[in-house]
A = this chain, B = another copy of it.
Amino acid sequence: MTKSVVLLSGGLDSSTVLAMARSKGHDVIALTFDYGQRHARELESARKVASRLGCSDHLIIRLPIGEFLSSSLTDPNTRVPEGRTHDEMAEGVPDTYVPARNIIFLSIAASIAESMGAESVFIAANAVDYSGYPDCTPEFIESFQRMLDVGTKVGRGGHGLRIEAPIIKMSKGEIVRIASQLGVPLEETWSCYKGGEKACGRCDSCILRRQGFSEVGLKDPLEYEVIE
């Protein structure tokens, strides 16, 4: 059985990627980081999703780096943007960008995968909805793969460690459809950038998620504060 490490935030995208790896029959070790993100509620979602989708292990690693990083996602003194249109989101690099976040996550995932003899690392990078994140592009994934091929023992040994980014070119609607088909427990996933009781419905992540459900005519089981 192929063993894989899947980066799992607890959001819609990474939960869907986890379900995709499981549907291919992979033995999955889910890996979640607690890095001081505002939406720590994600962690609880990640626990539930990992359990519901039958992971063989779920590692939650605390990375105490939030205080050093410049991002509205980790800094309580900045404001998470709200109520933007899709075009506004696509302008430049978003201020929810956490410098080198996916680079750090993939590095630790690769280290654990190499240690545990896993053959691949799955990441829910997506270049469609939020085109401004430099660490979510196909070009980035390819260059990370090349770096891993020369910089690790498994990479140099030739059998390698594959970085898989299966939803990188999908729209949110396509992701919602696959999630629904593969039995992702959508009511347990958490996408909102804020950590409230209900999802805010106004941050970029909520807006994209709701558009996704609406695109494919499915009902989002999450409750939102703002219903427009």
Q: Which residues of A contact B (CB under 8 A)?
A: 59, 61-65, 68-71, 93, 97-104, 106-108, 110-112, 114-116, 134-135, 137, 139-140, 143-144, 146-156
Determine if B111 and A98 form an interchain contact, defined as CB atoms under 8 angstroms apart: yes
**A148 — which chain B residues lie within 8 A by C-beta?**
100, 103
Partner of A150, one of B106, B139, B151: B139
Determine if B110 and A103 form an interchain contact, defined as CB atoms under 8 angstroms apart: yes
Q: Secondary structure of the A side of the interface?
A: helix
Determine if B104 and A100 form an interchain contact, defined as CB atoms under 8 angstroms apart: no
Determine if B150 and A140 form an interchain contact, defined as CB atoms under 8 angstroms apart: yes
Given contacts A104-B107, A152-B100, contact A61 B59 (CB under 8 A): no
**A103 — which chain B residues lie within 8 A by C-beta?**
107, 110-111, 147-148, 151-152
**A69 — which chain B residues lie within 8 A by C-beta?**
111-112, 115
**A114 — which chain B residues lie within 8 A by C-beta?**
70, 99-100
Nearest residue (CB) in B for A139 is B150
Partner of A112, one of B65, B97, B115, B146: B65
Determine if A102 and B151 form an interchain contact, defined as CB atoms under 8 angstroms apart: yes
- Residue from A62, A139, A140 having most chain B Cβ neighbours under 10 A: A140
Determine if A111 and B151 form an interchain contact, defined as CB atoms under 8 angstroms apart: no
